Amino acid sequence: MRFTLYAGAALALATLTACGTQVPPPQVASLATPNATATAAPSTSDDSKRPQLRLDSSDADVDAAWAGYKACLKANGHKMLTGRGDEHAGPAGAPGETPDMNDDSPQSVAARKACTDKLPLQPPELDQSRNPHYLDQYHAYLTCLTTHDLAVHATDPFGSGWTYDDGVTQKLTSSQQTEVDHDCRLASFKLG
């Protein structure tokens, strides 16, 4: 099992991909909810309209950003997959309804284009083009994970994600792993 750096977005990304399929890492943008704090990032493209996730975004904020993107895709006729499990309820409330990101039909391509402004942007700290210390901080992040009993290692290219060590039983529960990942991410990444 392989994980991208941003765990919350990775879980959302899993809802958008078929098993074993690679898609570009999720990106995060500013959430348009009264409780969310938006982080405006300088942009030279239409990215300024996209929701901007932050390192400290709650799971609910991350889920809301991805739900908005999925709802837009569905409303624009993107092919949807069903039966992905109750933990990933689709935008219309159907259990496990997610966009088929392997569908390159003209209708699905048009839906992705129409929904570009809803695709969440990754936190700027996790963007190698915006964070000059990203790789050093990624090293600190992996060290933090392993120091806190996660048996993981980096995947290639370095900085793109991590995976569990083969043949090693994890000492932490799934919720403990999520907490360690979140805490290590916050402790390791900073802009500037």
pLDDT in tens, 65-113: 999 999 999 999 999 998 764 444 444 444 568 899 899 999 999 999 9
What does the pLDDT read at residue 47? 85
Asked whether the predicted pLDDT for residue 7 surpasses 60, the reply is no
**Pairing of the two strands 2-3 and 162-164:** antiparallel
| Global confidence as pTM | 0.63
Tokens linked to 40: 């405006």
Percentage of the chain beyond pLDDT 90 is 61
Which residues, 6+ apart, have CB-to-CB distance to 74 below 8 Å? 80, 90, 91, 92, 97, 99
